[in-house]
Structure 1
Amino acid sequence: MNRCLVRFIMVLLSLILVFSTVSISLAQKVPKPNFYNTPADYQRVTGKRITKFGESPMLAELVKQGKLPPVDKRLPKDPLVVVPIEEIGQYGGQVNLFTNSPNSLGEADYFTGYEHILGIATDGSSVTPRIARGWKFTEGGKTLTIYLRKGMRWSDGAPFTADDILFWYEDIILNDELTPVKPVYWSPGGKLMKVEKVDDYTVRLNFAVPYPMATYRLAHETGAIYRPKHFLKQFHPKYTPIEEINKRAKAEGFEKWYQLFGKYNTINATEVNCPTLRSFVLTKRGTDFLVMERNPYFWQIDTAGNQLPYIDRIFISVVQSIDIMDMKAISGEADFAGRRTSLENYTLYKENEKKGNYRVLLWQGLWGSNFIIEINQTYKEDPVLRNIFRDVRFRRAMSLAINREELNQMLYFGLGVPRQTTVIPQSPYYEESFGSAYTKYDPETANKLLDEMGLKRGTDGYRLRPDGKRLEILLEHVPDATATRLGEMLVRYWDAIGVKVAVKEI
């Protein structure tokens, strides 16, 4: 690995303390703003002008050989300007990452990032430009016009234009074989939106009703409303004879043309040499490794005008399990780990930090919680139990019986701020009254609420249902070490208020 690169483990923290989440401060201070929409915006705010563009020596050599156009011809007219978190980077080097499946990019997914039409700012709520340089609502919120970056290109050099969005809409979404069920999130008012091309770099989304949430949709996974038309046409019967497509589908082990199309219908660089707008392109896949190389047409620069990314190559080794991925990170063999790390191993990461020559960074996630206890209020098999679940006093009692401070210390090393399950505080929809509702450890009040419900204790100390049977609950969870420990503690808390709980891993 290039010595200028720093290994680090990122522990994504958006933690849950049963009915609640915890939040922590960042180990790195994110600059504000962390990017500028265009070089002109950067100059207007900072007074500094980007006068030339830099590129990796690896790409400069290809330009010299005539295999690539100059960097200023590869960038869009207005590239996105990214503010480095710590410093301007150095070009070159290879990053070594791990995955537990040859069909998954593993840690590279987090390392390379995702690209949507719009983005979300570091405040967790504001919508920002991303692939699109701008947008505008008209017609009372029923029309959203999107302005793309002129001169932007796919990783193979083909222009990225409004036609790529029209292809997604007309040839994928409207095609009943490819999309038999239309996306609900693009059907406000019960009617699928219409997409209209204004010019090569302008698109209109037309809705049946005002849809202000459209910008938020475009800033998340649902915002990937584009596909490389120039590449996918070869797999679509509208553009290529179906006999030819079927022949290729059979050769690749598929029965239907749309199965072949589905394999290559990706924008996340998960298939070899598929065009992408991400920073790296998957160039090779073996049984136990994957290789990604820098996107020579990536549309972002740093504040010095250097085309991103800094790193030339990613080598992803396939291992058998997440535990092995952890061991590779701890031993210093991984240059980055974040997608599969867990707070449960935080002390292990820290203890080996110096020996493994890496840094451990605590990073705020955007999830409201990792664990949520959902009491099934529609349980059909047992009407008596269902009625108990539907009584709000029961749910409040179960929450009040949980000692969140103890959970914080035992499971999360005291890094948490106990809170009810809700959105994170950065969200404009966060309300403190929601976050603190019934989170105080108060088994006395919990017992009173259950007494009010008429759930009397039997001779064994456990409460009885209205039909005289012992109140017993099954708590199920997916395989997860932290969830197992959490379940054990919940059994103890709820046992103290007379509710018999069994935990089952499913």
Structure 2
Amino acid sequence: MIFKRTSFLPWCLSLCLLGMGLGTQQQTRAADGAQKAGALKTLHVMLTTQEAALDPGAASDLASLSINENIFDPMLRYDYLARPVRLLPNTLSAMPDIADSGKTYTMHVQPGIFFTPDPAFKGKQRELTAQDYLYSIKRLYDPALKSPWLFMFDGKILGDEKLKSAGFDINTAVEGLQVVDRYTLRIRLKAPDTNFLFQLATPATGAVAREVAEAYADQVGSHPVGTGPFMMGKWQRSYQIELLANPSYRSVVFSSTAGKDARDRQLAAALQGKRLPRVDRVEIRIMEEAQSQVLGFLNKEFDYLEQVPPPLAEMVLVPGADIQLKPELVKRGVQLDLFSTLQTYYVWMNMDDPVIGGYTQDKVALRRAIALSYNSREDISLMERGLAIAAQTPLPPNVLGYDPAYRSPLSYDPRLANALLDKFGYKRGADGYRSMPDGQPLSLVMHSLASTKGRLRDETWRKNLDSIGIRISFKSDKNSEILKAARLGKVQMTEANWIADFPDGENFYQLLYGPNSGRANYSRFNLPAFNQLYEQSRALSDSPQRQRLYHDMAQLMHAYTPWIVRIHPLSADLRQPWLKNYKRHPVDFTTWRYLDVDETARAAAR
């Protein structure tokens, strides 16, 4: 992540070093305090990819988002148990006041909320104010940040075009962003936006203190300082991360709306009136290898395992159509939950790439042939072990705008794929592999994860493309490095997945919106007809009219094929018998603030 440099830079390096030392002292004091009261109550969890920058404005990978939502506070957050999802005030004293037919939002920040200590505050206690949220929204517009979250505000806030002029200046006054007083922020939109409140609950809108961002500049992602329930403890990059309960966290007492589900009512009763978070410490391990994830859970190193890796499902599940735990795990008290995630797995292809990109008929034919070589049924059966459904559009079930009747016009058909390539001049050589229409060799490069799962995926795509005579090689790397290269346009094609930041189709279709190229739109798909439909859809709430626009957008996506939509996973989640209050949320990445552990039961099980 690159952050715009400021006048703080001459002394930034020394301050960074000082911050590391003082931060460690503060973390030690927090841990010591907990130890005096008794043993630290610790939640043991894993993340399956490496974290990148812990900066709310820059982070888009699952690992970083999972950590950020526990350190940084957005103004709103989701009710833990309410289904369908419901928003609650987080740092606000009440839900925003909405006026002017949905174009004006007034937010009142609770007094007495403080950032965790940091040298950037020069020894003073730093209170959260309305100005912090104004600053955090404005910095998303900084071109140096390259925020993948700018789409949530870009072109929506009254006067925000001033922030996009040459020479970005964070101090530029914007008509639609106004601090009324120390604790009151008013945001005015150019037009009503039915998803705006959802966006105020995303980790990307968590409050960042200006002093911290300017003190650490392009290293701010290595110095997460927030007002949330946890603060950073020890941090061994890409291996182990420790979060400590924030000792200055405001008094947050659990309250939720449980439905008719008996288990939900039990969870609500167990948590009602209790202060959050429930544990003193969260120990996070980065476990990229699928086998290590499952073995770590079976060895009781982790309190839960979300989304059992499908290739290893038979280590914990009974083979067969019905998804059931193995008897020995049932005997141990392990619990199984099935959860339909708001998630889509897909392959994107770089539309600016000279080999695979472009909008001419021959380039479209190449991408469409690649899509036709993908065998969804075989992928779900063999690779996903049945724990998925075939994706037809970018939208997963239970997202607003999802159409269960829609079917993709592109299904597995290698014969048609070969015919397309023949027609548009991709000729086979003596070795069976094809050349470009101009006679140059045709060879593709796919970025993939440097893991066992990544290698298995590589072989799947090698098989697919061999069947239509396309040579492919693979460049294995860390997920964070692939994302960096993708932002720079240096990835030709790769597999990816997207988890909903808010439960609406806009959050998925923005990944294909032209102005988001290089940010959330890694494929750099920029089709005027698609962009126009997307802009029209943003002005509508969930309705038959918007559904028709989504239908037409899906048709254009399939026609030009910047994406191959693969699957929507069905998550098999396991939890240990000593874990309390666990329930997956459709939108929140983690539920760590609500989870509790019975340390006596854990010790007895070991």
Cα pair 2:297 2:305 within 8 Å, conserved: yes
Cα pair 1:145 1:203 within 8 Å, conserved: yes
1:409-467 deviation per Cα after TM superposition (whole angstroms, max 9, x unaligned): 1110012211245122222233457x632442222332332333243444444444323
Letter in 2 for 1:430: Y
Alpha-carbon distance in structure 1 between the residues aligned to 2:143 and 2:441: 51
Alpha-carbon distance in structure 2 between the residues aligned to 1:443 and 1:167: 55
Name the structure 2 match of 1:71.
none
1:177-220 deviation per Cα after TM superposition (whole angstroms, max 9, x unaligned): 99888984444252344433445654211346665553332122
Residue 314 of structure 2 is aligned to residue 347 of structure 1: yes
Cα distance change on mapping 1:236 and 1:354 into 2, 3 Å: closer
Cα pair 1:101 1:320 within 8 Å, conserved: no
Cα distance change on mapping 1:354 and 1:155 into 2, 3 Å: farther
Alpha-carbon distance in structure 1 between the residues aligned to 2:435 and 2:220: 57
Letter in 1 for 2:251: Y
Letter in 2 for 1:415: L
Indicate the larger mover: 406-415 or 299-308: 299-308
1:23-47 deviation per Cα after TM superposition (whole angstroms, max 9, x unaligned): xxxxxxxxxxxxxxxxxxxxxxxxx
Cα pair 2:129 2:182 within 8 Å, conserved: no
Cα distance change on mapping 1:106 and 1:311 into 2, 3 Å: farther
TM-score (norm 1): 0.57
Cα distance change on mapping 1:301 and 1:320 into 2, 3 Å: closer
Name the structure 2 match of 1:218.
200
Alpha-carbon distance in structure 2 between the residues aligned to 1:114 and 1:257: 17
Residue 96 of structure 2 is aligned to residue 135 of structure 1: yes
Residue 76 of structure 2 is aligned to residue 118 of structure 1: yes
Residue 334 of structure 2 is aligned to residue 373 of structure 1: no
Alpha-carbon distance in structure 1 between the residues aligned to 2:141 and 2:358: 40
Residue 447 of structure 2 is aligned to residue 492 of structure 1: no
Q: 1:408 Cα deviation (Å)?
A: 0.7
Cα distance change on mapping 1:200 and 1:356 into 2, 3 Å: farther
Indicate the larger mover: 204-213 or 403-412: 204-213
Alpha-carbon distance in structure 1 between the residues aligned to 2:427 and 2:452: 34
Cα pair 1:473 1:501 within 8 Å, conserved: yes
Alpha-carbon distance in structure 1 between the residues aligned to 2:52 and 2:475: 31
Q: 1:334 Cα deviation (Å)?
A: 1.8
Cα distance change on mapping 1:318 and 1:222 into 2, 3 Å: closer
Alpha-carbon distance in structure 1 between the residues aligned to 2:142 and 2:344: 36
Cα distance change on mapping 1:317 and 1:413 into 2, 3 Å: closer
- Aligned residue pairs: how many? 376
Instruction: Please state whether the residue corresponding to 1:134 is helix, strand or coil.
Output: coil
Residue 159 of structure 2 is aligned to residue 205 of structure 1: no
Q: 1:386 Cα deviation (Å)?
A: 5.9
Letter in 1 for 2:88: P
Indicate the larger mover: 448-457 or 94-103: 94-103
Cα distance change on mapping 1:119 and 1:448 into 2, 3 Å: farther
Q: 430, 447, 450: which one pairs with 1:476?
A: 447
Q: 1:488 Cα deviation (Å)?
A: 1.3
Name the structure 2 match of 1:447.
418
Cα pair 1:398 1:446 within 8 Å, conserved: yes
Name the structure 2 match of 1:245.
none
Q: 1:479 Cα deviation (Å)?
A: 1.9
Letter in 2 for 1:331: N
Name the structure 1 match of 2:251.
297
> Could you say which structure has the higher helix fraction?
2
Alpha-carbon distance in structure 1 between the residues aligned to 2:465 and 2:139: 51
Alpha-carbon distance in structure 2 between the residues aligned to 1:167 and 1:107: 20
Q: 223, 228, 236: which one pairs with 1:277?
A: 228
Instruction: Please state whether the residue corresponding to 1:95 is helix, strand or coil.
Output: strand
Residue 120 of structure 2 is aligned to residue 146 of structure 1: no
Alpha-carbon distance in structure 2 between the residues aligned to 1:502 and 1:257: 39
RMSD in angstroms over aligned alpha carbons?
5.0
Letter in 2 for 1:346: A
Alpha-carbon distance in structure 2 between the residues aligned to 1:373 and 1:348: 28
Cα pair 2:76 2:87 within 8 Å, conserved: yes
Please list, as runs of the form range in 1=range in 2, the aligned pairs for 1:300-379 lying within 5 A after superposition. 300-301=254-255, 303-304=268-269, 305-309=272-276, 311-314=278-281, 316=283, 326-338=294-306, 342-350=309-317, 353-354=329-330, 358-369=334-345, 372-379=346-353
Q: 1:114 Cα deviation (Å)?
A: 7.2
Alpha-carbon distance in structure 2 between the residues aligned to 1:103 and 1:170: 19
Please list, as runs of the form range in 1=range in 2, the aligned pairs for 1:9-48 lying within 5 A after superposition. none
1:304-334 deviation per Cα after TM superposition (whole angstroms, max 9, x unaligned): 5422447342352768976656533220122
Instruction: Please state whether the residue corresponding to 2:106 is helix, strand or coil.
Output: strand
Q: 1:406 Cα deviation (Å)?
A: 0.7
Alpha-carbon distance in structure 2 between the residues aligned to 1:464 and 1:397: 14
Instruction: Please state whether the residue corresponding to 2:366 is helix, strand or coil.
Output: helix
Alpha-carbon distance in structure 2 between the residues aligned to 1:210 and 1:458: 57
1:136-191 deviation per Cα after TM superposition (whole angstroms, max 9, x unaligned): 4434554322255x577458899998x62313435995799998889844442523
Cα distance change on mapping 1:260 and 1:165 into 2, 3 Å: farther
1:223-249 deviation per Cα after TM superposition (whole angstroms, max 9, x unaligned): 21x357xxx87x699xxxxxxxxxxxx
Indicate the larger mover: 177-186 or 468-477: 177-186
Alpha-carbon distance in structure 2 between the residues aligned to 1:359 and 1:134: 36
Alpha-carbon distance in structure 1 between the residues aligned to 2:136 and 2:427: 63
Cα distance change on mapping 1:141 and 1:159 into 2, 3 Å: farther
Alpha-carbon distance in structure 1 between the residues aligned to 2:466 and 2:436: 15
TM-score (norm 2): 0.49
Name the structure 1 match of 2:43.
95
Alpha-carbon distance in structure 2 between the residues aligned to 1:95 and 1:496: 47
Cα distance change on mapping 1:373 and 1:261 into 2, 3 Å: closer
Which structure 1 segments of 5+ residues have no match?
A: 1-61, 68-91, 238-255, 268-275
Cα pair 2:42 2:283 within 8 Å, conserved: no
Cα pair 1:399 1:438 within 8 Å, conserved: no
Cα distance change on mapping 1:214 and 1:484 into 2, 3 Å: same
Q: 1:358 Cα deviation (Å)?
A: 3.2
> Which entry has the higher C-alpha Rg, 1 or 2?
1
Cα distance change on mapping 1:212 and 1:321 into 2, 3 Å: closer
Instruction: Please state whether the residue corresponding to 2:389 is helix, strand or coil.
Output: coil
Q: What's the % identity of the aligned pairs?
A: 17
Letter in 2 for 1:167: D
Name the structure 1 match of 2:373.
401
Instruction: Please state whether the residue corresponding to 2:273 is helix, strand or coil.
Output: coil
Instruction: Please state whether the residue corresponding to 2:464 is helix, strand or coil.
Output: helix
Cα distance change on mapping 1:443 and 1:98 into 2, 3 Å: closer
Alpha-carbon distance in structure 2 between the residues aligned to 1:447 and 1:177: 46
Cα pair 2:134 2:179 within 8 Å, conserved: no
Letter in 1 for 2:348: E
Cα distance change on mapping 1:111 and 1:395 into 2, 3 Å: closer
Q: 1:125 Cα deviation (Å)?
A: 9.0
Instruction: Please state whether the residue corresponding to 1:465 is helix, strand or coil.
Output: coil
Q: 1:405 Cα deviation (Å)?
A: 0.6
Cα pair 1:172 1:178 within 8 Å, conserved: no
Letter in 1 for 2:448: H
1:332-372 deviation per Cα after TM superposition (whole angstroms, max 9, x unaligned): 12223449x64443333446745875334343333322xx3
Cα pair 1:331 1:356 within 8 Å, conserved: no
